[in-house]
Chain A
């Protein structure tokens, strides 16, 4: 699984099969857009966020991670009614941080994946809410039971789907 290393850092970087990143990202956006139509409770899931986190962990390139986060966030914004940039900013930061953390800590362990996914969800929501408050003047409750439940659900989902996404990695 490990790829050759750079001269500066011994970082294990994973590559993926052709088109898998685009395909998985599109699928996540698609599911995020229309699954709640049939299952309203799935609205608490943030599949694009989980994809951003996963590819950030795997690619471990902050530049790629932040650009991917920005792209996914903007698409998510454009599929909703909120101004473009709300999800974009939040996911840009998540992509950057996930890529940076992926090169520093073990992100292959399910427990660390659970904790990081929950943490990144909360961070993402915090950025999103604060952006809305400060830039748009739309106050939203920062801490709510719903937020914690959604964080836990997304964390569990990350633990479940990350191993599936691992199969898309190119064998070294």
Chain B
């Protein structure tokens, strides 16, 4: 049971307390001094707790800000990773575009060097589903003027021949196919033979007598005897020579990059190619970046745009 103090007692106490404090204030004002002793006691009592409190707050604040920083770092890290991935993709795309531009430049240069031969730029759109046959499909067909047995080349060398034509596509038998055969000759000696596919990325040259002097590194050019490819186009380079019975076994590395074909040129006639420089028009490949090859060009032909070895190998 709690006894509530009487009303008068409380009022008396209130007045006494207030008067005491007013006097204390008056003393402080009169002497212009602070009551140092009470302050010292209070501050000395409170300060240790404040120190602990400050230490705790700093710790908690440090942990909290550390956590927030970590959250920000994690978020920034994710954003940077995302940006990095996007830039990688963009870089890959740009590298692809640059490579494509180089290829198109080479095609254009090649076409410019051979204005006498009508050519059609085409893009490889597919390859054979049959792994045993070396075949690619072009985005050009009969409606573009492509016919069977037309030669397909790149500035680097021969690719193969058209062996099936559809309305908007054409099927090309690559030189590396087992059924392929190209009339060829050894650069320098003009010894003729037939280059055929082996079913793997390399080529083989047949019907070269064991008496012929063939050395690795020697270039092989088209002979024109097959009535498909014009003369003196690069076919490949000798990589291995073995004596055989009755002919030498000659292995070649194709001049054209048949394993990564993208844009090619289809020779619309079997006109011999002689190097010239005036600009000419090439029909663009539909829906492809091969279009620049078809545009009228005033651009001077660069050395890299010329067919490798084709001109150097002229006797």
8 Å CB interface, B10-26 against A: 10, 13-14, 17-18, 21-22, 24-26
Instruction: Say whether B2 contacts A78, CB under 8 Å.
Output: no
Choice from B21, B35, B53 contacting A92 with Cβ under 8 Å: B21
Instruction: Say whether B34 contacts A84, CB under 8 Å.
Output: yes
The 30 listed contacts between A and B (C-beta, < 8 Å) are: A6-B2, A9-B4, A13-B2, A30-B50, A31-B53, A33-B50, A34-B50, A34-B57, A38-B61, A60-B4, A61-B5, A62-B10, A63-B9, A63-B13, A67-B13, A70-B21, A78-B41, A83-B25, A84-B21, A84-B39, A85-B21, A85-B25, A86-B25, A88-B24, A89-B22, A92-B14, A92-B17, A93-B18, A103-B4, A135-B29
Q: Looking across the interface, which residue of chain B has its beta carbon closest to that of A5? A: B1
Query: A6-B2, A74-B38, A85-B28 are known contacts; what are 12 more A-B pairs with Cβ within 8 Å?
Result: A37-B54, A62-B5, A62-B14, A75-B42, A78-B39, A84-B25, A84-B35, A85-B25, A92-B14, A92-B18, A93-B14, A103-B4
A66-B20 Cα distance, complex, nearest whole Å: 13
- The interface residues of chain A lying within 8 Å CB-to-CB of B26 are 135
Instruction: Say whether A30 contacts B22, CB under 8 Å.
Output: no
A142 beta carbon closer than 8 Å to chain B: no
Q: A127-170, CB under 8 A of B: which get 1 and which 0?
A: 00001000110000000000000000000000000000000000
A103-B6 Cα distance, complex, nearest whole Å: 13
Beyond A4-B1, A60-B4, A78-B39, whether A83 also contacts B18 by CB under 8 A is: no
Min CB gap A10→B, angstroms: 10
- The interface residues of chain B lying within 8 Å CB-to-CB of A34 are 50, 53-54, 57
Q: B289-300, CB under 8 A of A: which get 1 and which 0?
A: 000000000000
Instruction: Say whether A11 contacts B50, CB under 8 Å.
Output: no
B78 beta carbon closer than 8 Å to chain A: no
8 Å CB interface, A57-86 against B: 60-63, 66-67, 70, 74-75, 78-79, 83-86
Q: Looking across the interface, which residue of chain A has its beta carbon closest to that of B13? A: A63
Min CB gap B314→A, angstroms: 87
Instruction: Say whether A66 contacts B54, CB under 8 Å.
Output: no
Min CB gap B72→A, angstroms: 20
Number of A-B contacts (CB under 8 A): 107
- The interface residues of chain B lying within 8 Å CB-to-CB of A9 are 4
B70 beta carbon closer than 8 Å to chain A: no
A29 beta carbon closer than 8 Å to chain B: yes
Query: Interface size class for chain B?
Result: 20 to 34
Beyond A84-B38, A85-B22, A92-B21, whether A6 also contacts B28 by CB under 8 A is: no
A75-B44 Cα distance, complex, nearest whole Å: 12
A26 beta carbon closer than 8 Å to chain B: yes
A96 beta carbon closer than 8 Å to chain B: yes
B3 beta carbon closer than 8 Å to chain A: yes
Q: Looking across the interface, which residue of chain A has its beta carbon closest to that of B51? A: A34
Beyond A84-B24, A85-B28, A96-B10, whether A8 also contacts B4 by CB under 8 A is: yes
Instruction: Say whether B29 contacts A83, CB under 8 Å.
Output: yes
- The interface residues of chain B lying within 8 Å CB-to-CB of A92 are 14, 17-18, 21
A29-B63 Cα distance, complex, nearest whole Å: 25
- The interface residues of chain B lying within 8 Å CB-to-CB of A5 are 1
A75-B22 Cα distance, complex, nearest whole Å: 16
